[in-house]
Structures are given as C-alpha cells and as structure tokens.
C-alpha cells in the first residue's frame, strides 16, 4: 500500500470528470498509481496537491495560483503577501460590478470555493487587511469590514458620475443611487474622491442632504 504525504504534488491520470474521481501518479523512486477524489474539475495531465491522505487513497486540489500561496509542505500555512495579491485580483475582477468593493465575508465565501478552501480562515483575511502598504483599503462600515480598491483604480465610476452630472444642476446621493443602483458605500467613496480631486464641490447646507456641484464636466 502507498500513503502519499500531505502537500505532495501528483499528476492526474485516469479520471472520471462526472464522478470527480480516478487515479493519480505519484513519483518517488518508483511510480505509483493511487486512487483519488476531488471536488474540483480536473483532467488527465493536470498537477494536483494532496490535502488528505489515506492508504492508497488521496483527496486532491488543483495546483494553481491559490495553492501557490501555501507556505509549507503540510498544506497548513498561508503566505500573507500572496493572499493580499489574490484579494487585490478578486477586487479588480469585480470592479465594474461592485466598484472594487467587497465585504470580508464575500471574499471569504469566494476563497472557500477555491483550492485553498480547507485552510483559508477569516483570521487570514483580517491579518491581510491589517498588513502595511496593502494596495487596497480596509473599511469598516455599518459594523461590517470591507476591502475596496482605491477610487483611482476605478476610473469608470468617475466617468459614470461625471456623465450623470452633465444633465443636472447638481448631484445627490439619492440621484446616483437611482441612476446606478450602487451601494451607499460605493457612492460615498467616489463622491468623496471627486471632492478631494476638486472635480466637484460639496455643499452640506441643504436640509434634504448634501449636494455636489460639478464646476466643469
């Protein structure tokens, strides 16, 4: 019987994609074929990593950009800087949909569907969010923690707001919400950013809420 150590790399051999099980090749001094299962889509020739091992049977996950951030050969520790890069990529991939803003819970849910699902925890995400010089913001809003791209990384949001402002004497948060269906957090961030850039002026003297006046569109 063969027992492959956790963290070892194997090669997918005979594989039933519908049942998500088959055989993997494990090369040491000899080449062994071992039964395997995985909840991920794999095909013959793919590299995979063993995350659970028994005599002549293993559970595997793909060797991919997520498993690249695993630090040790026991598949237990995550490299924080690598996790920061992955979070940044997730935010960028969704910037048109969300303005590059996702809650910690949302990112955790996404990562729990990846090849590091067995070891990723919310503690890892909290640690990543508190790391120095991260390329995104960590925000606490209404009791929830969010990770968000810098507004300068979302130029499309700036263009959308400016285009809406062309047709109004002033812009309000309610107007933007009706026009875009964006979250309050997304609207607040882009408006605050535009004020800082002197693209618009904020007037808080109105009883029915702040108004934003665009000097030049």
User: What is the distance between the alpha carbons of residues 81 and 68, in angstroms, rounded to a whole number?
Assistant: 11
The domains of the chain, with CATH numbers, are: 9-63 (2.40.50.140), 69-149 (1.10.10.10), 153-214 (1.10.10.10)
Alpha-carbon torsion angle 169, 173, 179, 185, nearest 10: 150
Q: Give residue 216's pLDDT.
A: 62
Q: Give residue 55's pLDDT.
A: 92
pLDDT digits (tens, 9 = 90+) for 76-133: 899 999 999 999 999 999 999 999 999 999 999 999 999 999 999 999 999 999 999 9
Q: Please determine, for residue 161, whether its predicted confidence score (pLDDT) is greater than 80.
A: yes
Give whole-number Cα distances, 50 to 31, 74, 123, 141, 193, in Å: 16, 9, 24, 39, 46
Which residues neighbour 181 within 8 Å (Cβ) at sequence distance 6 or greater? none
For residue 171, the SS3 value is strand
Give the end-to-end CA distance of the chain in Å, rounded to a whole number. Answer: 73
Structure tokens at 132: 């120095």
Under a CB-based contact definition with an 8 Å cutoff, are residues 74 and 82 in contact?
A: no
pLDDT digits (tens, 9 = 90+) for 168-183: 999 999 999 999 999 9
pLDDT confidence bin for 145, thresholds 50/70/90: very high
Pairing between β-strand 57-62 and β-strand 31-37 as defined by DSSP bridges? parallel
* Residue 180 CB neighbours (<10 A): 16
Q: Give residue 29's pLDDT.
A: 62
User: What is the distance between the alpha carbons of residues 210 and 202, in angstroms, rounded to a whole number?
Assistant: 7
Q: In sequence order, what E strands does 55-161 have?
A: 57-62, 101-103, 136-141, 144-149
pLDDT digits (tens, 9 = 90+) for 34-85: 999 999 999 999 999 999 999 999 999 999 999 999 987 788 899 999 999 9
Q: Please determine, for residue 215, whether its predicted confidence score (pLDDT) is greater than 90.
A: no
């Amino acid at each position: 019987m063969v027992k492959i150590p956790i963290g070892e790399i194997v090669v997918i051999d005979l594989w039933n994609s519908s049942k998500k099980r088959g055989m993997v090749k494990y090369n040491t001094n000899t080449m062994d074929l071992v039964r395997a299962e995985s909840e991920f889509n794999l095909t013959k020739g793919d590299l995979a990593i063993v995350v659970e091992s028994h005599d002549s049977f293993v559970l595997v996950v793909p060797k991919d950009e997520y498993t690249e951030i695993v630090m040790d050969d026991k598949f237990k520790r995550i490299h924080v800087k690598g996790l920061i890069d992955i979070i940044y990529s997730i935010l960028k991939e969704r910037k048109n949909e969300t303005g590059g803003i996702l809650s910690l819970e949302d990112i955790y849910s996404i990562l729990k569907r990846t090849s590091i699902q067995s070891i990723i925890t919310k503690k890892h995400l909290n640690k990543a969010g508190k790391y120095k010089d991260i390329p995104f913001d960590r925000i606490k809003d209404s009791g929830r923690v969010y990770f968000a791209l810098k507004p300068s990384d979302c130029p499309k949001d700036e263009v959308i707001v400016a285009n809406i402002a062309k047709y109004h004497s002033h812009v309000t948060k309610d107007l933007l919400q009706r026009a875009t269906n964006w979250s309050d957090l997304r609207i607040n961030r882009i408006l605050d950013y535009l004020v800082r850039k002197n693209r618009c002026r904020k007037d808080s003297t109105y009883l029915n809420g702040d108004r934003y006046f665009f000097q030049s569109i």
